[in-house]
Amino acid sequence: MTTLFSPFRLRDVTFRNRIFVSPMCMYSAEEGVPNDWHLVHLGSRAVGGAALVMAEATGVSPVGRISPGDTGIWNDAQATAFARITAFIASRGAVPGIQLAHAGRKASTHVPWEGGKPLAANEGAWTTLGPSAIPFDDGFPPPREMTAADLDAVVGAFVAATERAVRANFQVVEVHAAHGYLLHEFLSPLSNRRTDGFGGPLENRMRFPLRVAGAVREAFPAGRPVFVRISATDWTDGGWDLAQSIVFSRCLKELGVDLVDCSSGGNVANAKIPVAPGYQVPFAEAIRREAGIATAAVGMITEPRQAEELLGAGRADAIFMARAFLRDPYWPQRAARELGADVTWPIQYGRAKP
């Protein structure tokens, strides 16, 4: 028996193995509505044997999108389109999840293959929001410092998005608090210079992200897990770091969050990140141990034995993979062969079973 292919249960949801498809923006939606591209992209990874297929960072409001091509879940047409996708994912034995997101000061940009730079006014730019009026990088406009009413509206948007995710039959929601987007911007002292109850000491910087996570937890059915993706460090002196991430994760656990998905970076342009195989696993390991909450490791996990070893050593409960899944939607099938595990092969593909 391998750890990678052992089932994993959170609340009433059982994952058939520990292999999760990491959320990946496809920048291919119109008006936030997912389409056939998203069905095939997500659906083929469910056919490939992943346990959880997490739909991309999906805007809880139009201004919360990174780009005009992002998926959204602020209206019923979007939720209805997602329902077709979740039905297919579930029919293949995988769990459908969705990452709920607000891009904060990093919103209103071109899609990456058009340069990814901020949109100009005549290209449909919108005013971005942030904890403080500090731009992300050169060329980015400063976001508008959020008022108390803005904070309430964003909490409301996350709750409404969660309710729509329920109607679209998502079994997992993940709050995006990583990669320099809105909730991470509140956590990090480098992007949050507020002088009210939402800035300053750690307790204050955590207040808004915890409010959002708590509201999402309350709005999602008790039998279904809520994840939070964090950036465990800004990789920058004076920024957000692992020690603060551990405190934050303990608070998330108290709110009933089920798993912390441990990524890093994204809030400081040009931070020096020591990217290497498994480089973020130590964060998943430390948070799992110190905060006593389930964690997922992500980042440069590409090989079945690497995944098996880190899970077997108790460094994380599950792995998310992104680029390896873009290269090979059937990665779990390959991993099962390599590790000698038995997994269900799609019946339609039986004649090709090795």
Ligand X SMILES: Cc1cc2nc3c(=O)[nH]c(=O)nc-3n(C[C@H](O)[C@H](O)[C@H](O)COP(=O)(O)O)c2cc1C
Name the site residues for ligand X (rule: CB under 6 A).
22-25, 56-57, 99, 176, 178-179, 229, 263, 298-301, 321-324
Cα(203)–Cα(133) distance, integer angstroms: 21
Q: Which of 27, 181, 279, 330 is catalytic?
A: 181
Task: Tell me the residue ranges of DSSP E strands in the chain.
Answer: 8-10, 13-15, 19-21, 52-59, 95-101, 129-130, 144-145, 172-177, 226-231, 259-263, 294-298, 318-321
Q: How far is the CB of 231 from ligand X (least distance, A)?
A: 9
Query: What are phi and psi for residue 175, nearest 5 degrees?
Result: -80, 125
Shortest CA distance to 317 belongs to which of 297, 299, 298?
297
Q: Which two tokens stand for residue 1?
A: 């028996």
Q: How far is the CB of 147 from ligand X (least distance, A)?
A: 27
Our CB check for ligand X shows the closer of 10 and 24 to be 24
181 catalytic residue (yes or no): yes
Our CB check for ligand X shows the closer of 200 and 326 to be 326
Q: How far is the CB of 200 from ligand X (least distance, A)?
A: 27
Q: How far is the CB of 323 from ligand X (least distance, A)?
A: 3
Our CB check for ligand X shows the closer of 38 and 176 to be 176
Our CB check for ligand X shows the closer of 221 and 277 to be 277
Our CB check for ligand X shows the closer of 191 and 342 to be 191
Our CA dihedral for 111, 117, 122, 123, rounded to 10 degrees, sits at 0
* Plot region of 276 (φ>0 → left; ψ -120 to 50 → alpha; else → beta): beta
Count other Cβ atoms within 10 Å, centred on residue 183.
28
> For residue 46, what are the CA distances in angstroms to 40, 194, 348, 353?
10, 43, 14, 17
Q: How far is the CB of 266 from ligand X (least distance, A)?
A: 9
Cα(298)–Cα(204) distance, integer angstroms: 28
Cα(16)–Cα(185) distance, integer angstroms: 34
Cα(85)–Cα(82) distance, integer angstroms: 5
Write out the catalytic residue numbers: 181
